[in-house]
Amino acid sequence: MDIKPPIAYVMLLVIIGGVGLACVKEGKGVDINTTALGYASMANLAAALKGKLGSSVVSSLKGDKKKNMDSANVYAVMNILSFCFTVPVVCVTELSTLAEEWDKAVALHGSGPLITNIALSGFFFYIYNEFAFAFTSQVGAVTSSVLNTAKRVIIIVVSAIIFQEAMERNTIVGSAIAITGTFLYSLTSKKKKKTA
């Protein structure tokens, strides 16, 4: 079991504090969309479980060369299983509006560009996540989850700068604290000890 130094766990509190501060709106108090928070928490939990399960499977299958299950193949199998579990949910929740929404999108953008964008989005998303999965099997699920969360904060901040959206002081300070906490977490968690 991997145990990180206590200071690494303190940095997790710094990250949580930064995200919490970014959610406080000046003059309005805390402004949190609980539905979004719930779904984001479930997504982070699923990503951490996927990383942990995947790294466990990869390490247990690494010694058996006959099975040819390196991290890329384990990720592919996990995606196929995820697809099989997701299709019924999509059919139940969205099948009734699928044709109508497709027709709207084709009318707006044309079928060629739409299909190209869907294919490229899927391809790049898969490649990105395959690299992330291989990375997770090397560094661990918690570190990967923290870095993934930091990536989201950085994307939000960079997007706000590029699109020139006004950011409140608390959002800027909270984001800076969360990003700094993530950086310090990655530095402090490098010195980990292994116990049996």
Q: What is the pLDDT, as a whole number, of residue 142?
A: 67
Q: What is the pLDDT, as a whole number, of residue 1?
A: 58
Higher pLDDT: 114 or 169? It is: 114
Mean pLDDT of 176-183: 85
Per-residue pLDDT tens over the stretch 32-74: 778 888 888 888 788 777 767 777 777 777 667 777 777 778 8
CA Rg, the chain, in Å? 20
Note the helical H segments in 23-110.
34-61, 71-109
Q: What is the pLDDT, as a whole number, of residue 196?
A: 46
Q: What is the pLDDT, as a whole number, of residue 84?
A: 93
Is residue 192 pLDDT above 60, yes or no?
no
Per-residue pLDDT tens over the stretch 62-114: 667 777 777 778 888 888 988 998 899 889 989 999 999 999 999 999 999 99
Q: What is the pLDDT, as a whole number, of residue 184?
A: 85
Mean pLDDT of 102-128: 94
Q: What is the pLDDT, as a whole number, of residue 14?
A: 92
Q: What is the pLDDT, as a whole number, of residue 107?
A: 96
Going from N- to C-terminal start, the domains of the chain cover 2-194
Closest among 30, 24, 76, 29 to 54, alpha carbons compared: 76
Cα 113 to Cα 66: distance, rounded to the nearest angstrom: 42
Closest among 75, 49, 48, 50 to 61, alpha carbons compared: 75
Per-residue pLDDT tens over the stretch 136-163: 767 766 676 677 777 777 787 788 888 8
